[in-house]
């Protein structure tokens, strides 16, 4: 807009403010157009305009030349060099200078994965081969790997960023479950995949040119943060990469800018404070060091308290808006309907109350979350000051106690601050002030089950069981007096039950269990009893010991599923046989017992019946015996008898037999050596087949 209005001064102010801070290819393209417009080459007798434009291109390539969308800048830059004085291939100094500049520009451009890399490579090939074929092949051979890597990398980048929306206007991240949360997460995932791809070093720069590798990764972090400026974890990752790669200044810059964009982010503030605490350890004056470390904490706390004030103000405005709406409704109704006892008036009043309660409940949840965040910010600051200045003394000497006093004075804190301060006094200094802090907190948070639980743990740690039981009784009495808070007392009961089971009297344990059964009848008694004797790693009351090998017998068949029947060879065989469509016996009842599906109806086979088998028998014999005896290798066994072949043709295939006890090789060998009579009269009846008197057995006929 400023360019179209010829407001060059304002345009330059925009460039000065944003150009170096915003690595945008579009912004740099606008800047290059402005420079070429302000420095025309047609009237450039002194060459100053060309020099200015050349410097602008060098700056643009330095800042955005590694971008995959910077192909147009590279192409324009090479065309700008071509348009300069001198002839490519000439012998003058300007000719040689132009040739060197073009070669250097081409060699840099073909190593960057851009949309113009293929075109630039073809132009470079023609450029070198037109100058000198011998040296041209040498240059092309040296830079061909770089070009091939850039070309394949650009293809990969296009696949990764296919659905990416590159923008410099970052939106606020939607709350999970709100409109646009899926789209925002998808964009963030694409940026993360792109950065992960850069970190994998596909351009092979980490070993050859570490500075270029780091610059690329940092550049694309900046690109991502233009679109995800309100995503603190992205700022954190960028700073962490810099700190791990000896780029302290760049990492600090990421943290500062991230905090400016997200002043309420605990993640970035804690990281910034940690870096200040580590890097300022050489500072001898603890007060100066503490002041440096505290600076980001103060900004965070100010931002969080401001959010609480805004939430309170918004709550008041929402309530006033609801009241004004219902007041206007009352004015529009008839005077007789405004009587307090009128049904419509009662309905409107109930609706107004319900809406106001819902608004206040919503804002209360939001304010509670902010208050929790404020509390943990104070806790982190308190721990940091203890490491730097010790516990100190409020009003006299700075330290952790001074921070605790400030937190209580400023307000909006939860019981977590009291717990952290008390435990710090106990674990770091063994100071009796810990118990006093817990006592003070118990009065301020009488129905906070989390605080009561930590208070109990502390009293038992210092072996003050009398006061521990007193605190327990006081707390659970307050909580159980209100049916809505009965569930809050459950973890307190469980904690003391565990302690009494290990170190108390059995009578106390039984009394506790009785009270727990009355308050929580849905809890099984077995689980409650087992908790006496178990811990998080082992429960001796539920373990099943092996008393006999019969308990570990392997399953042979599991009815119901064919997948489970593959546990053993016998099971696999049974499963195959019983479900085979070739069964000739009825198994409907057996199938029902197994829980398997019944046989389905199949079409009649064209090879079913004796006649079909006789027609198919020559083919089967040919398959088993070979096409002819002449094809049989020397020393191979003789073909099987026809009757055996007929029998084998009726039987199912060998693949149907999965039982390990059946060896097909041994069975074939047995049948091959069986002597089969040619006539039934040659069959010899065993002596056992005759009766006791030597006569013929009455069943012999049936046997035959």
- What CATH number is attached to the domain comprising 207? 1.25.40
Determine the pLDDT at residue 617. 53
Report the 3 state secondary structure along 556-571: CCCCCCCCHHHHCHHH
Whole-angstrom distance, CA of residue 273 vs CA of residue 457: 31
Tell me the backbone φ, ψ of residue 608, rounded to 5 degrees.
-85, 140
Q: Tell me: do 18 and 148 sit in the same domain.
A: yes
Residues 85-105 as b/e (b if ≥16 CB within 10 A, e otherwise) read ebeeeeeeeeeeebbebbbeb
pLDDT digits (tens, 9 = 90+) for 450-501: 999 999 999 999 999 999 999 999 999 999 999 999 999 999 999 999 999 9
- Which residues touch 267 (CB under 8 Å, ≥6 apart)? 232, 233, 236
Q: Tell me: do 55 and 109 sit in the same domain.
A: yes
Average predicted confidence (pLDDT) for the chain:
85
CATH of the domain at 98: 1.25.40.10
Residue 335 has pLDDT above 70, yes or no: no
Residue 675 has pLDDT above 60, yes or no: yes
What's the average model confidence in pLDDT over 250-265? 97
**Domain assignment present for 414:** no
| Between residues 86 and 702, the one the model is more confident about | 86
Q: Tell me: do 6 and 106 sit in the same domain.
A: yes
Q: CA dist 494 to 89, 350, 529, Å?
A: 90, 41, 12
Tell me which DSSP letter residue 349 carries. H
Whole-angstrom distance, CA of residue 240 vs CA of residue 435: 40
Determine the pLDDT at residue 90. 79
pTM, entire model: 0.74
Determine the pLDDT at residue 650. 79
Q: Tell me: do 16 and 155 sit in the same domain.
A: yes
Tell me the backbone φ, ψ of residue 696, rounded to 5 degrees.
-75, 140
**Domain assignment present for 594:** no
Tell me the backbone φ, ψ of residue 690, rounded to 5 degrees.
-95, 160
Residue 356 has pLDDT above 90, yes or no: yes
Tell me the backbone φ, ψ of residue 562, rounded to 5 degrees.
-75, -25
Structural domain of 518 = 442-534
Q: What share of the chain is helix, strand, coil (3-state, %, to 5)?
A: 65, 0, 30
What's the average model confidence in pLDDT over 323-350? 72
Tell me the backbone φ, ψ of residue 377, rounded to 5 degrees.
-65, -45
Q: Tell me: do 234 and 87 sit in the same domain.
A: no
pLDDT digits (tens, 9 = 90+) for 125-180: 999 999 889 999 999 999 999 999 999 999 999 999 999 999 888 999 999 999 99
Shortest CA distance to 574 belongs to which of 593, 595, 598, 558? 558
Shortest CA distance to 65 belongs to which of 104, 23, 33? 23
Q: Tell me: do 109 and 57 sit in the same domain.
A: yes
Give the total number of structural domains in the chain: 3
∠ Cα 697 702 704 (to 5°): 90
| Between residues 671 and 485, the one the model is more confident about | 485
Burial (0-12, 13-18, 19+ Cβ within 10 Å), 32: buried
Whole-angstrom distance, CA of residue 508 vs CA of residue 514: 10
Whole-angstrom distance, CA of residue 159 vs CA of residue 164: 10
Whole-angstrom distance, CA of residue 150 vs CA of residue 168: 26
Percent of residues, the chain, with pLDDT higher than 90? 64
| Between residues 207 and 626, the one the model is more confident about | 207
The token pair at 318 is: 């929402």
The token pair at 528 is: 């409650």
The per-residue DSSP string of 499-535 comes to HHHHHS-HHHHHHHHHHHHHH-TTS-HHHHHHTTT--
**Domain assignment present for 348:** no
Whole-angstrom distance, CA of residue 256 vs CA of residue 269: 9
**Domain assignment present for 377:** no
| Between residues 347 and 519, the one the model is more confident about | 519
Choose the weakest-confidence range: 227-236, 548-557, 672-681.
672-681
pLDDT digits (tens, 9 = 90+) for 82-104: 998 888 877 888 889 999 999 99
Determine the pLDDT at residue 526. 87
| Between residues 312 and 699, the one the model is more confident about | 312
pLDDT digits (tens, 9 = 90+) for 508-551: 999 999 999 999 999 998 888 999 999 889 999 999 899 998 88
Whole-angstrom distance, CA of residue 517 vs CA of residue 521: 5
What's the average model confidence in pLDDT over 590-608? 43
What's the average model confidence in pLDDT over 300-311? 96
What's the average model confidence in pLDDT over 243-247? 95
* pLDDT band for position 683 (cuts 50, 70, 90): low
What's the average model confidence in pLDDT over 412-425? 97
Detail the DSSP E strand segments found in 604-698: none
Q: Tell me: do 194 and 153 sit in the same domain.
A: no
**Domain assignment present for 469:** yes
**Domain assignment present for 515:** yes
User: Of the candidates 127, 161, 195, which is a domain's last residue?
Assistant: 161
* pLDDT band for position 590 (cuts 50, 70, 90): very low
Q: Using an 8 Å Cβ cutoff, are 85 and 98 in contact? A: yes
Shortest CA distance to 238 belongs to which of 198, 182, 296? 198
- Say whether 120 sits in a helix, a strand or coil: helix
**Domain assignment present for 567:** no
**Domain assignment present for 270:** no
Shortest CA distance to 492 belongs to which of 507, 510, 478, 502? 478
Whole-angstrom distance, CA of residue 173 vs CA of residue 264: 14
Q: Tell me: do 194 and 65 sit in the same domain.
A: no
Shortest CA distance to 536 belongs to which of 498, 501, 506? 498
Q: Tell me: do 192 and 75 sit in the same domain.
A: no
Q: Tell me: do 518 and 458 sit in the same domain.
A: yes
Q: Using an 8 Å Cβ cutoff, are 23 and 223 in contact? A: yes
User: Of the candidates 237, 262, 287, which is a domain's last residue?
Assistant: 262
Q: Using an 8 Å Cβ cutoff, are 406 and 377 in contact? A: no
The per-residue DSSP string of 334-363 comes to -GGGGSTTSHHHHHHHHHHHHHHHHHHHHH
Shortest CA distance to 404 belongs to which of 387, 422, 421, 385? 421
The per-residue DSSP string of 78-104 comes to HHHHHTSSS-TT-SSHHHHHHHHHHHH
| Between residues 32 and 344, the one the model is more confident about | 32
The per-residue DSSP string of 411-447 comes to ----HHHHHHHHHHHHHHH--THHHHHHHHHHHH-TT
Residue 56 has pLDDT above 90, yes or no: yes
Determine the pLDDT at residue 85. 87
- Which residues touch 276 (CB under 8 Å, ≥6 apart)? 292, 293, 295, 296
Tell me the backbone φ, ψ of residue 397, rounded to 5 degrees.
-135, 130
Determine the pLDDT at residue 680. 65
Percent of residues, the chain, with pLDDT higher than 70? 82
The number of helix segments (H) and strand segments (E) in the chain equals 28, 0
Shortest CA distance to 33 belongs to which of 19, 14, 53, 13? 53
Whole-angstrom distance, CA of residue 634 vs CA of residue 225: 81
Whole-angstrom distance, CA of residue 479 vs CA of residue 392: 37
Determine the pLDDT at residue 283. 83
Q: Tell me: do 153 and 9 sit in the same domain.
A: yes
Helices (H), 228-342: 232-244, 248-261, 266-279, 286-332
Determine the pLDDT at residue 519. 94
* pLDDT band for position 564 (cuts 50, 70, 90): very low
User: Of the candidates 490, 515, 534, which is a domain's last residue?
Assistant: 534
Shortest CA distance to 166 belongs to which of 234, 206, 222, 126? 222
Q: Using an 8 Å Cβ cutoff, are 453 and 492 in contact? A: yes
Burial (0-12, 13-18, 19+ Cβ within 10 Å), 626: middle
Determine the pLDDT at residue 694. 46
Q: Using an 8 Å Cβ cutoff, are 194 and 228 in contact? A: no
What's the average model confidence in pLDDT over 674-699? 57
Q: Tell me: do 14 and 152 sit in the same domain.
A: yes
The token pair at 642 is: 């026809």
Whole-angstrom distance, CA of residue 15 vs CA of residue 18: 5
- Which residues touch 639 (CB under 8 Å, ≥6 apart)? 624, 625, 626, 629
């Amino acid at each position: 807009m400023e360019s179209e209005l010829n407001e060059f001064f304002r345009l330059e102010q925009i460039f000065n403010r944003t150009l170096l801070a915003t690595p945008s290819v579009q912004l740099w393209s606008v800047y290059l157009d402005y420079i070429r417009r302000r420095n025309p080459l047609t009237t450039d007798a002194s060459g100053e305009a060309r020099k200015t434009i050349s410097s602008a291109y060098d700056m643009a390539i330095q800042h955005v030349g590694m971008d995959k969308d910077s192909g147009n800048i590279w192409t324009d830059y090479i065309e700008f060099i071509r348009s300069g004085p001198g002839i490519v291939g000439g012998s003058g100094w300007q000719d040689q200078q132009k040739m060197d500049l073009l070669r250097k520009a081409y060699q840099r451009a073909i190593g960057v994965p851009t949309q113009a890399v293929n075109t630039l490579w073809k132009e470079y090939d023609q450029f070198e081969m037109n100058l000198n074929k011998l040296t041209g092949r040498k240059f092309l051979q040296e830079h061909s790997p770089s070009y091939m890597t850039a070309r394949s990398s650009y293809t990969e980048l296009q696949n990764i960023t296919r659905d990416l929306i590159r923008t410099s206007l970052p939106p606020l991240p939607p709350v999970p479950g709100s409109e646009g949360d899926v789209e925002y997460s998808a964009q963030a995932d694409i940026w993360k995949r792109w950065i992960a791809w850069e970190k994998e070093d596909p351009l092979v720069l980490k070993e050859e040119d570490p500075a270029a590798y780091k610059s690329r990764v940092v550049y694309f972090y900046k690109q991502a943060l233009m679109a995800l400026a309100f995503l603190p974890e992205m700022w954190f990752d960028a700073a962490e990469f810099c700190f791990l790669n000896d780029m302290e200044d760049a990492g600090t810059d990421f943290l500062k800018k991230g905090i400016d964009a997200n002043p309420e982010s605990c993640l970035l503030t804690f990281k910034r404070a940690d870096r200040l605490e580590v890097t300022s350890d050489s500072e001898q004056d603890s007060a100066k060091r503490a002041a440096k470390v505290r600076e980001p904490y103060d900004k965070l706390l100010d931002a969080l308290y401001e959010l609480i004030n805004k939430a309170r103000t918004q709550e008041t405005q929402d309530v006033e808006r609801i009241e004004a709406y219902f007041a206007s409704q009352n004015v529009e109704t008839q005077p007789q309907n405004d009587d307090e006892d009128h049904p419509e008036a009662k309905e409107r009043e109930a609706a107004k109350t319900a809406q106001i309660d819902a608004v206040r409940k919503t804002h209360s949840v939001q304010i509670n979350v902010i208050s929790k965040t404020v509390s943990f910010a104070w806790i982190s600051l308190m721990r940091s000051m203890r490491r730097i200045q010790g516990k100190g003394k409020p009003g006299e000497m700075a330290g952790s106690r001074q921070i605790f006093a400030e937190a209580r004075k400023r307000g909006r804190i939860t019981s977590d601050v009291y717990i952290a301060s008390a435990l710090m006094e106990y674990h770091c200094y063994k100071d009796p002030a810990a118990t006093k802090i817990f006592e003070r907190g118990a009065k301020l948070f009488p129905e906070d089950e989390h605080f009561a639980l930590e208070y109990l743990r502390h009293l038992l740690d210092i072996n003050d069981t009398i006061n521990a039981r007193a605190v327990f009784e006081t707390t659970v009495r307050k909580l159980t007096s209100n049916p809505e808070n009965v569930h809050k007392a459950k973890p307190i009961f469980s904690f003391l039950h565990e302690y009494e089971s290990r170190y108390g009297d059995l009578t106390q344990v039984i009394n506790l269990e009785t009270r727990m059964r009355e308050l929580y009848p849905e809890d099984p008694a077995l689980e409650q009893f087992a908790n006496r004797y178990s811990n998080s790693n082992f429960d001796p009351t539920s373990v099943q010991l092996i008393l006999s090998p019969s308990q570990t017998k392997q399953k042979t068949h599991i009815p119901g599923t064919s997948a489970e029947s593959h546990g053993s060879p016998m099971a696999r065989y049974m499963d195959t046989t019983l479900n085979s469509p070739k069964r000739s016996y009825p198994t409907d009842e057996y199938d029902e017992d197994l829980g398997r599906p019944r046989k389905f109806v199949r079409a009649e086979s064209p090879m079913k019946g004796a006649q079909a088998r006789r027609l198919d028998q020559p083919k089967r014999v040919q398959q088993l015996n070979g096409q002819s005896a002449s094809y049989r290798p020397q020393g191979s066994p003789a073909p099987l008898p026809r009757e055996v072949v007929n029998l084998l043709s009726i039987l199912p295939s060998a693949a149907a037999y999965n039982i390990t006890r059946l060896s097909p090789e041994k069975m074939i060998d047995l049948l091959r050596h069986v002597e089969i009579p040619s006539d039934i009269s040659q069959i010899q009846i065993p002596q056992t087949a005759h009766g006791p008197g030597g006569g013929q057995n009455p069943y012999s006929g049936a046997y035959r």
